[in-house]
A and B are shown apart, each in its own frame.
Chain A
Amino acid sequence: GENVEQHPSTLSVQEGDSAVIKCTYSDSASNYFPWYKQELGKGPQLIIDIRSNVGEKKDQRIAVTLNKTAKHFSLHITETQPEDSAVYFCAATDSWGKLQFGAGTQVVVTP
């Protein structure tokens, strides 16, 4: 089945700096790669996603890149702000279309 690995597990950045989270997946048939943000005490929420026919997608301060050959994808957050502090999860679809989540990255943005 699909296996998604995510790094780093924790990431501390200064406000205004960039943050990068990287994920790898194992199933070459995966074709949908969403990113979820989980704030304290809440459920994860979709923030951006990318499909296998696209290499990069951007939405304001966040962007995702996908390298299908290498089977890895990344989340980039620019000009980080305190409200970006949260746990971020990458995910990839398995052959049935179910999402397999990475272990999560705790991002802390310090003022």
Chain B
Amino acid sequence: DAGVIQSPRHEVTEMGQEVTLRCKPISGHDYLFWYRQTMMRGLELLIYFNNNVPIDDSGMPEDRFSAKMPNASFSTLKIQPSEPRDSAVYFCASSLALGGTGNTGELFFGEGSRLTVL
């Protein structure tokens, strides 16, 4: 398997524009996570899905952010409208299970999408 695939790797856009980040998880992984990484806040969990269903979106910063998983092999994170403070590296990760008793819950991360909003 090629691992978790994210696109685009880099995105530069202007404030107010819509941004769509894409992710293809590892085949067979039931869990998909979207993280945001910044110097100030580190790795923040935005939302995660189990079997394509959003389970916990409490980390989504505000209504400008939305995420979908229409099928087991594809997910999107959309920001509309984008703002300069959204500039960050966004990671998608997938896993077989959540961490916990009896399960490894190892997260496999993509290489990230670096977003710059001017």
**A interface residue numbers (CB < 8 A to B):** 31-32, 34, 36, 41-46, 49, 51, 89, 93, 96-104
- B96 within 8 A of partner (CB): no
Look across to chain B and name the residue whose beta carbon is closest to the beta carbon of A46. B106
Which of B103, B109, B111 has most chain A Cβ within 10 Å? B109
In the bound complex, residues from chain B placing their C-beta under 8 Å from that of A31 are 100-101
Closest 9 CB pairs of A and B: A43-B109, A97-B98, A97-B100, A32-B99, A93-B99, A101-B43, A103-B42, A46-B106, A44-B109
Least Cβ–Cβ distance between A104 and chain B, in angstroms: 6
Look across to chain A and name the residue whose beta carbon is closest to the beta carbon of B103. A97
Look across to chain B and name the residue whose beta carbon is closest to the beta carbon of A101. B43
Contact between chains at B104 and A104 (CB < 8 Å): no
In the bound complex, residues from chain A placing their C-beta under 8 Å from that of B43 are 44, 89, 101, 104
- With A44-B109, A49-B104, A99-B105 as known contacts, state yes or no: A93 contacts B98, CB within 8 Å: yes
Choose from A32, A45, A98 the contact partner of B109 (Cβ within 8 Å).
A45
Q: How distant is the Cα of A98 from the Cα of B100 in the complex, in angstroms? A: 8
Least Cβ–Cβ distance between B4 and chain A, in angstroms: 8
In the bound complex, residues from chain A placing their C-beta under 8 Å from that of B101 are 31-32, 51
Contact between chains at A98 and B42 (CB < 8 Å): no
Q: How distant is the Cα of A32 from the Cα of B111 in the complex, in angstroms? A: 24
- With A34-B106, A46-B106, A89-B43 as known contacts, state yes or no: A99 contacts B99, CB within 8 Å: yes
Contact between chains at B98 and A98 (CB < 8 Å): yes
Look across to chain B and name the residue whose beta carbon is closest to the beta carbon of A89. B43
Least Cβ–Cβ distance between A92 and chain B, in angstroms: 9
Q: How distant is the Cα of A102 from the Cα of B112 in the complex, in angstroms? A: 19
Which of B43, B101, B105, B107 has most chain A Cβ within 10 Å? B43
